[in-house]
Amino acid sequence: MVGIFRNYNPFGIIFLFFYGLILRFASFIDPHIPIAQETDGFLYHGLLRTMSGIGKITPVIYPILAYMLIFIQAMTLNSLVNNHKLLPKASFLPAMAYLLITSLFPEWWQFSSTLLVNSLLVWVWARMSGLYNNNRAKLVLFNIGMVLGFCSFFYFPSIALVVLMIFALIIMRPFNLAEWLVGLLGITTPYYFLFAYLYLTSQWDPARFIPSLSLSYPAFLQNIWAWGGMILLIVPFLISGFYIQGNILKMLIQVRKSWSLLLLYLLTALLVPFINSSSTFEYWILCAPPFAAFHAYTFFHSNKRNFPLILHWIMVIFIIALNIAVLRQ
């Protein structure tokens, strides 16, 4: 299976689609109806209210939408990793890794606000990686800021990802105050239009749309499946660090900077759920795209031919067993 996705054959897209379906079959058999949390943004609350009618009649619509978003994100991430030359050869390994990673936890099968945000963050990371030697950096930074501000309308703590834009400016660009101010202007623009709309429609109540921020330890169900998923998430990531370090001198400067930014993306995404935390694990899916890129590097660069195959099937067997365990609950 790894050999199929290691090649950049167009038929790989078809294999990937059904491959991802198999990895989360339990979500379609026993669909989960999402419930908005206080930490979710007003757009996500409104979206769930709009979908509540059809959701009650046909609850399978939620896992279908979730999988379509996951698959589109996988293909987008795959294209961006290939375009930025993060792997020496174009392949479908990043998409495969993303489908695997998002199947490791049942909460990541669900339709959620952070799943919607991920669709935008993959685009944001690609634009940040392209800032190096970009002659239109101000326009790109304004668009990045706009998207990050808009993300908070779905999941408010995602506003903390502004830190990622700061990292991108430090890594990818020489200091330019005007660029920093343009990025800040982009972040505030969605809120400007939101407040203008509220004021003009006599609905002025910013507290409804901008909740207070707090830091706390997010609690979630810790069992053998959760720990198993974490191990399968972390081990390939650590192995990829070893391979990247060994090949760092062979990489172009822009590729090195992209990997550095990807690592900072991962660290930032891991910290975001600590803001206005809840007891659900679904918000940690923000870290899935950078993890998938690192996993893809492990699958591609392993010196031992059988290791990627063994690692892949360990993850698949674990995920299938998890599906069965979920259906038996």
The predicted structure's pLDDT at residue 244: 85
The predicted structure's pLDDT at residue 164: 86
User: 121 in helix, strand or coil?
Assistant: helix
The predicted structure's pLDDT at residue 211: 67
Nearest to 273 by CA among 113, 128, 62: 113
Q: Choose the weakest-confidence range: 43-52, 108-117, 167-176.
A: 167-176
**Arithmetic mean of pLDDT over the chain:** 86
CA quadruple 165, 170, 174, 177: dihedral sign = positive
The predicted structure's pLDDT at residue 303: 60
DSSP single-letter state for residue 134: -
**Confidence category of residue 282, pLDDT binned at 50, 70, 90:** confident
**Confidence category of residue 62, pLDDT binned at 50, 70, 90:** very high
Strand partners of residue 40: 155
The predicted structure's pLDDT at residue 279: 62
85: left (phi over 0), alpha (psi -120 to 50) or beta: left
The predicted structure's pLDDT at residue 214: 66
